[in-house]
Amino acid sequence: MTKIVVDAMGSDNYPVPDVIGAVMAAREYNVGVILVGDEAKIQPVLAAQKTDGLSIEVVHAPEMLTMEDKGMALVLKARRPNSKNSMAVGIDLVKNGQADAFVTAGNTGAAAVTAYFRLGTIAGVDRPGLAPVFPTATGSCVVIDIGANPDCKPENLLQFGIMGAIYAEKVRGVRNPKVGLISNGEEPGKGNELVKHAYPLLEKSGLNFYGNVEGKEVIGGAVDVAVCDGFTGNVLLKSSEAVAKLLVDKIKEAIKQGGPLALLGGLLIKPAMGSVKKLMDPSEEGAAPLLGVNGLVFIGHGRSDAVAIKNAVRVAKNAVEANVLSAIRSAIEESLK
């Protein structure tokens, strides 16, 4: 049975959504779940759930990493062998082979740093990349990196392209995924120095390289994988989320202020609006993989509810069963020949 570690102290409202979501996942996806965190806080929530017949364990971790943990203090907590925070303890379970993947809705930077120091990177990968799935006009697009690496080298973008393509193929089911390089213009030669130097590396990589793409091509569904540095990716992610929320809010506002006919129309389009909202809801995917570390790590949003945690476990389970880690190792090794 696949075993997934869930950081019970991860979400903003820990441990309630984390524990409930993990129980939902164990029941719905037939996975074993290991809840890591403060046992005194976990057990009351767990006791209120129906867990008969489910494979659920609790591993005590008395400490936790928060948004306040930064700089050298974070590094020390992330790499110290005897660290007792929930991220370190949970990731060590994966490292030691006691679990197949780790899921957290905690501090993204803390999770990435902890995974980097405790798992290391896959041979040939300099830096791991965070790779969420964006909804597009034609389906979805894996965007890598969206924040783990604000500053990158061209070789990092090549590695991101390889890892993103493997993930799109193995987990998203995309055959021969098209890989695009995010730039400020479609033509070769456009972009900053990083993009200009990364372009020929991707072009010669053997990937199904589409070329440069602007933001509109990413959202329009031109590519299945979009590659960029973490600074660009983070701006793209947060801008997209803000625009999506603005549109939904403005439509609701217009309906409320439009009088009886507008309200009637609003009722008629409510199912369609629900479908659109679901498409843009990050909880549907649950968490994004941190590709490149030597283990499967998935990082969700701090605002994750139980459904988001449940879906994060599902995504992690799919990655385990698709042997994503082995596939990335092989692809990176092949690229170095």
Position 107, amino acid: N
**What distance in Å separates the CA atoms of residue 286 and residue 303, rounded to the nearest whole number?**
11
- List of domains in the chain: 3-127+285-323 (3.40.718.10), 130-235 (no CATH), 247-279 (no CATH)
Q: How many Cβ atoms from other residues are within 10 Å of residue 250's Cβ?
A: 10
* Residues 108, 147 contacting (CB under 8 angstroms): yes
In order along its 337 residues, the chain shows pLDDT tens digits of 999 999 999 999 999 999 999 999 999 999 999 999 999 999 999 999 999 999 999 999 998 887 777 777 787 777 888 899 999 999 999 999 999 999 999 988 899 999 999 999 999 999 999 999 988 888 889 999 888 888 899 999 999 999 999 999 999 999 999 999 999 888 888 889 999 999 999 999 999 999 999 989 998 999 999 999 999 998 888 888 787 778 777 777 777 776 776 566 666 666 655 655 555 555 677 899 999 999 999 999 888 999 999 999 999 999 999 999 999 999 898 877 6
Task: Please state whether beta strands 140-144 and 133-135 pair in parallel, antiparallel, or not at all (unpaired).
Answer: antiparallel
Alpha-helix runs per DSSP H in 14-70: 16-29, 39-47
pTM of the model: 0.90
* Residues 15, 41 contacting (CB under 8 angstroms): yes
Spell 132-171 as b/e; 16+ CB within 10 A means b: bbbbbeeebbbbbbbbbbeebebbbbbbbbbbbbbbbbbb
